[in-house]
Every structure is written in C-alpha cells, then in structure tokens.
Amino acid sequence: MPSKTESKAADIAARRGIYFQAFGIYDGVAGFYDYGPIGVRIKRKFENAWRDMFVNRTGALEIESTNIVPEPVLRASGHLAEFTDPITACDSCRTPFRADKLLEEYYEKKGSKAEASAVKKMSLEQMGKKLEEHAIRCERCGGRLGKVERFNMTFKTQVGPTAGGSAAYLRPETAQSIFVDFIHLYKTYGLKLPAGIAQVGRAYRNEISPRQQLVRLRELTQMDLEIFMDPDEEPKEVLGVEVSGMLKEKISFVARGSEEEKTVSIGELLESKSIPNRYLAALIFLQERLMQELGIDKKTYRFRELETEELPHYSRGNVDLEMKTSYGYIELAGTAYRTDWDLSQHGKESGKEVSVLSESGKKIVPHVVETTVGGDRPVFAILDNSVVDDDGRGWTWLRLSEKIAPYRYGIFPLQKDEKLIAKAKEIHSMLIDRGVDCYYSETASIGKRYARADEIGVPYCITVDFTTLEDGTVTVRDRDTTKQVRKRAGEI
C-alpha cells in the first residue's frame, strides 16, 4: 500500500478492509484486488448509479454475456493484432516494465509535462533510446533494461480437451459481446436506430506491470453502453436527452494539442469538431450529470480530447473523463466514435449479415458511439477525493455523498444496556424493512463508533439513549457538521 503521503484513501482502505490485494496469505498477485464488505457496497452503488443514468434513463437494453470469447471474435475486433503495450524487461532479473510508463514517470518527476505527453508519440525504437539516454534502470535490482517490444495483453485459454480444443480468450472488454449480439437483439426486440445496448461485467487484461492499486488491474469491472445509429442523421433527441438543453451544458475540457483546461459548452465543442457528433455529445453530457449526482467536485475532474497518436485503430474521435488523484489525473471513462468498424469486421469474419434498415428506409451497417467506464478506478478516485483531515475531531474521514456512501445510517445504543440494545435493534429492523441502508453496532464507546462511521463515509448516526425509551425520540448526528438533533424514530 502507498504511504500516507501518497494516498490517504489507501490508508483508510487498508485499515478498514475496503479493498485489499487478493491472495494475501500467498503474498498476493499484482493486479488483483478483493473488496471487503464496505468496498463492495460502495462499488455496487457506483455501478447502480451508472446503470440508472446510462441504462434506465436512456431506455437501453442490458445484456450479460460470457467471459470466454472464441478466437475469431478477437481476430475480427483487432485485439489479437492491436491490443498491445510496449514492454521492456531487466536483463538481469527479467522483471517486466511498461516502457512508456517508465518514461512518463521519469519526465513527470522532472516536471516536464510536454516531454511526458510526447511519449505517446514515440516508436518502440525511440522509447528504447530514451530509456538508455536517461539511464533508466530496473526498479527492482538496478539492472539494464532490454529492447522495447510489443506485448499482447489478452489472456489465452482453450475450450475443450487439449487434443481437440479450440483457442479462446478471457474477454479483454465487454463491448465485443454487444456487437456480436446486436443483430439478434435487433430482430428479437424490434429495435429501431438509434438503439442502445449496455453491459456491466468483468474484463481481463494481462497488464505488464500493474501498480497504483485499483488504477491498473488485470481483472476489472467494465460498464459499457453502445449506441447504434445512422451517421447521416442529426437527431433532436438522443436516447431521452434533449439536444437543445444538452448543448448549453458547460464542462471542463482539454482540447487536442493543448494542456490548458477551459470551461466550454458542449455546443462549442461540437462546432469545433472536438466532439464528432451529437451522440457522443449526449454521452459526455450524461457523464457530467452522473458526476454531479454523485456529489463530485467539478474542480477534481475534466474531459480530454485524445491526441491523434492515442486514438485506437477503430476510432474517429475519443474523449476521456479524467479525475485528479494522488497519482495525478487518471482516466475513469472513455467515449469513442467507433464508426462501423466492429460490426463490419464481425460481418466479414462470420460471413453473416450485419446491416439493418435506418429510419429513412436505407440499408446500412450502423455506426457506433460508445461510453465505457471502469468500475474500480472510480471507487479509488472518489475515495481519494473524499478524504477530510479533521484536526478538530482528531480523525480522518470520508465526505461521501449519500448516493455512494456504504450506509445511510449507523444505529448505536448509547451504552451496553439491555433495554437500549433491544430498542436500537428494533429501529434497525424497522429501517431494514423500509429498504434503508443501515448497520447496527454496540462495540466500543459511542465516540469511537462515531469515528468509525465517519471514516467510511456514513452520513448519519442514530443514537438510542434513555430518552428514547421515554418518548420514542433518538439523536441523529450529521457526519459533515457533527450537529445532533432529536427526531422521532418512526419519522426517520
């Protein structure tokens, strides 16, 4: 785990078991993390908030597909050829590293943002020369680093017995199943363009040197929404989002070729072609709304137009949602105009028809605009930006919005008295029956229980005392202000 100076959220996570390295009793495996009970609730609430915004509100269909993908699917999608990162390894101990990340970290420590950004444009040969020029050595043993090469990050496996099995892979992304299933869903659900199809599930990437906890994982959660559309249409509404209102929304944006954050409207970005179409604009609008609903400070995140050298092979425009953390800005979500690449490729590889009729009656292979967000990075980023150092209280706590806090209430008897305990448990059961997120605790002093609740971001604590037994009122303590008011238990 990072030190306190590196990430205070990581310290809270470690202390309270919010998340932790998997297989810890075997010394762990890099890139794999487990969530404890509190972390599971926070992560699930983020997923549900995303689902509410991008599935329920848009009317998109949600599917659940397999984690194992046959080889032809990834051959068609380009993953077998393009899903790579630059790798170098120590000549002495053979520890592998991502060459681009080593260089970016080197330049960032020197305070040279321009040089760090330029790494994205380097060839493998140029990266190798720069590693040697700057005398960047193995972080483990100090040995010399070898040649920079391409490494494919797919996890390969086999379906069936060794002798007659066929090659397959753990899926590197959840999107491809949506493309493969599109025609079937189009026919069976009577879809019309534009149509949204979503999926929340696991993805697997054999990262070269995963680090920074939940920021770079080998097994992760992805949430995807694909919008299938006719590129010649200029809709006035995109999946329930009114274009006229959307265009006025202002966001913090970094344009291609610039490092300056500017507050601009989505309409201006469409005019300047930083956003290629209204469908992609609608997804950015929804991302902005989601961040606001989660109570995220606008000063902590931005949207960035990807440089030409960063664009995936299928893309005609990408915009990332990035959030400031202890590790610098990290990507939380990517929004891409994938054109008809995926459907066309799967049509060629499978030999099946993938075209449909547009609203105007013409036969087309739909184009796709996508938003994809990881379920793990946002958990870390939100925790990292929610830490409050409070000298007055004497403990560090999390300012989490009610939308994502693990519980709304903590319910505590003032002391270990049988009557107080019975009443507190009665109130706890009442709230559970009402569908309210809450937990019960009678361990330690009331002050320590308040501190523990604050530390994991619980907005309110309910204390049952002897007055409760007389008039049915309880003390409700506000996490942010520590102020306490009395309320009737039945009114909570």
| Digit-coded pLDDT (tens) for 221-232 | 999 999 999 999
Least Cα distance to 78 among 209, 206, 214, 176 occurs for 176
d(CA 285, CA 281): 6
- Within a 10 A sphere around the Cβ of 443, how many other Cβ atoms? 9
396 part of a folded domain: no
d(CA 386, CA 479): 13
d(CA 488, CA 482): 19
Per-residue pLDDT tens over the stretch 80-102? 988 999 999 999 999 999 999 99
291 and 348 in a single domain? The answer is yes
Mean pLDDT, range 476-492, rounded to an integer: 94
Does position 3 have pLDDT exceeding 70, yes or no?
no
DSSP of 399-457: ---TTTSS-SEEEEESSS-HHHHHHHHHHHHHHHHTT--EEE--SS-HHHHHHHHHHTT
37 and 101 in a single domain? The answer is no
Least Cα distance to 364 among 193, 184, 227, 197 occurs for 193
Instruction: Identify the domain boundary among 149, 176, 203.
Output: 149
Long-range contacts of 109-113 (CB under 8 A, 24+ apart): 113/259
Per-residue pLDDT tens over the stretch 438-475? 999 999 999 999 999 999 999 999 999 999 999 999 99
Sign (positive or negative) of CA dihedral 16, 18, 20, 22: positive
% of residues, the chain, pLDDT over 70: 99
399 part of a folded domain: no
Burial class, 408, CB count within 10 angstroms (exposed 0-12 / middle 13-18 / buried 19+): middle
Lowest mean pLDDT among 24-28, 252-256, 390-394: 390-394
Nearest-Å Rg of the Cα atoms of the chain is 25
d(CA 181, CA 202): 17
243 and 369 in a single domain? The answer is yes
- Within a 10 A sphere around the Cβ of 31, how many other Cβ atoms? 20
Domain that holds residue 92: 87-149
Mean pLDDT, range 27-53, rounded to an integer: 96
**Number of domains present in the structure of the chain:** 3
Confidence at residue 267, expressed as pLDDT on a 0 to 100 scale: 95
212 part of a folded domain: yes
43 and 17 in a single domain? The answer is yes
Nearest 5°: the CA angle 412, 432, 466 is 30
Structure tokens at 91: 């000549």
Q: Is 7 helix (H, G, I), strand (E, B) or coil?
A: coil
Which of 6-20, 302-316, 352-366, 401-415 holds the top average pLDDT?
A: 401-415
Does position 333 have pLDDT exceeding 70, yes or no?
yes
CATH of the domain at 164: 3.30.930.10
Structure tokens at 445: 């002093």
Lowest mean pLDDT among 4-13, 64-73, 132-141, 434-443: 4-13
Using pLDDT thresholds of 50, 70 and 90, give the confidence band for residue 437: very high
372 part of a folded domain: yes
Confidence at residue 310, expressed as pLDDT on a 0 to 100 scale: 84
203 and 265 in a single domain? The answer is yes
Mean pLDDT, range 376-403, rounded to an integer: 93
% of residues, the chain, pLDDT over 90: 82
User: Which residues, other chains included, contact 391 with Cβ-Cβ below 8 Å and sequence gap of 6+?
Assistant: none
Confidence at residue 380, expressed as pLDDT on a 0 to 100 scale: 95
Q: For residue 314, what are the CA distances in angstroms to 79, 338, 339, 343, 462?
A: 11, 5, 7, 11, 53
169 and 311 in a single domain? The answer is yes
Confidence at residue 1, expressed as pLDDT on a 0 to 100 scale: 37
Confidence at residue 5, expressed as pLDDT on a 0 to 100 scale: 41
**Bridge-based pairing state of the strands 367-374 and 219-229:** antiparallel
Strand-pairing partners, residue 409, are 438, 460
397 part of a folded domain: no
Mean pLDDT, range 128-154, rounded to an integer: 93
Confidence at residue 6, expressed as pLDDT on a 0 to 100 scale: 61
335 and 235 in a single domain? The answer is yes
444 part of a folded domain: yes
What are the DSSP E strand ranges found in 205-361? Answer: 219-229, 237-238, 241-242, 250-254, 261-265, 301-305, 318-325, 328-339, 356-357
270 and 418 in a single domain? The answer is no
Does position 2 have pLDDT exceeding 60, yes or no?
no
pTM of the prediction? 0.92
Sign (positive or negative) of CA dihedral 456, 460, 463, 464: negative
Mean pLDDT, range 303-311, rounded to an integer: 89
> What b/e sequence results for 230-256 when a residue is b if at least 16 CB atoms lie within 10 Å of its CB, and e otherwise?
bbeeebeebbebebeebbeeebbbbbb
Lowest mean pLDDT among 55-59, 113-117, 123-127, 330-334: 113-117
Q: Is 276 helix (H, G, I), strand (E, B) or coil?
A: coil
Q: Average per-residue pLDDT in the chain?
A: 93
395 part of a folded domain: no
Instruction: Identify the domain boundary among 133, 149, 165.
Output: 149
Q: Virtual CA dihedral for 103, 105, 109, 111, nearest 10 degrees?
A: 70
Structure tokens at 245: 């209102």
Instruction: Identify the domain boundary among 353, 384, 415.
Output: 384
Structure tokens at 393: 């209280």
432 part of a folded domain: yes
Mean pLDDT, range 283-294, rounded to an integer: 96
- Within a 10 A sphere around the Cβ of 116, how many other Cβ atoms? 19
CATH of the domain at 416: 3.40.50.800
d(CA 225, CA 239): 11
203 and 337 in a single domain? The answer is yes
97 and 158 in a single domain? The answer is no
Mean pLDDT, range 266-277, rounded to an integer: 95
Confidence at residue 314, expressed as pLDDT on a 0 to 100 scale: 81
437 and 375 in a single domain? The answer is no
d(CA 277, CA 271): 9
Mean pLDDT, range 175-192, rounded to an integer: 96
Per-residue pLDDT tens over the stretch 239-264? 788 888 899 999 999 999 888 999 99
266 and 193 in a single domain? The answer is yes
